[in-house]
């Protein structure tokens, strides 16, 4: 049993692991790195090499922490607000900190909710690496693809 399973015994871990296993490898790896606090954000890189700039490459205002990257950066607030609104419609009542780590509480359709979060995390990280802000349409498109995996292999 992992640390999170001990710290959050009220979560349905077998179901969470099952949902993770259904994701493509690159998305699963991004989620794993994010949840283990291992994504190479600028703050994390700055800790390893103090000569590296820790400011967010998008807003250039605050240090790029996991939280800033995913929901605090002012440049990403539109897409984050959209995601949070959808999550609330699906019944998620968790704090932002818990929601972004996949701790939704009781929601109607865990798979849809989980794949939406996966699409958001992956799209946000990918856009950040290209020095741009993710668009809602990108997240929606990936979410649709993840919900219907057969479309990954369709011509």
* Domain of residue 19, residue span: 11-37+77-149
Residue 69 lies in a domain: no
Residue 124 lies in a domain: yes
Residue 54 lies in a domain: no
Tens-level pLDDT at each residue, the chain (155 residues): 444 445 556 556 677 677 778 899 999 899 888 888 899 999 999 999 999 999 999 999 999 999 999 999 999 999 999 999 999 999 999 999 888 888 887 777 888 898 999 999 999 999 999 999 999 999 999 999 998 865 444 44
The domain total for the chain is: 1
Residue 60 lies in a domain: no
- The whole model's pTM is what? 0.86
Residue 88 lies in a domain: yes
Residue 120 lies in a domain: yes
Residue 133 lies in a domain: yes
């Amino acid at each position: 049993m992992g640390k999170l399973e001990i710290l959050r015994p009220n979560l349905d871990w077998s179901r969470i692991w099952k949902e993770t296993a259904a994701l493509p490898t690159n998305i699963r790896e991004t989620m794993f790195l994010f949840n283990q606090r291992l994504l190479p954000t600028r703050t994390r890189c700055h800790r390893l090499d103090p000569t590296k700039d820790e400011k967010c490459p998008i807003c250039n205002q605050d240090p790029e922490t996991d939280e800033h990257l995913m929901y605090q950066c002012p440049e990403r607030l539109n897409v984050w607000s959209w995601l949070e609104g959808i999550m609330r419609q699906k019944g998620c009542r968790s704090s932002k900190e818990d929601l972004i780590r996949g701790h939704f509480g009781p929601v109607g359709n865990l798979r849809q909710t989980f794949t939406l979060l996966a699409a958001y995390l992956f799209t946000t990280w990918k856009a950040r690496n290209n020095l741009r802000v993710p668009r809602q349409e990108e997240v929606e498109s990936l979410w649709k693809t993840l919900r219907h995996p057969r479309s990954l292999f369709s011509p």
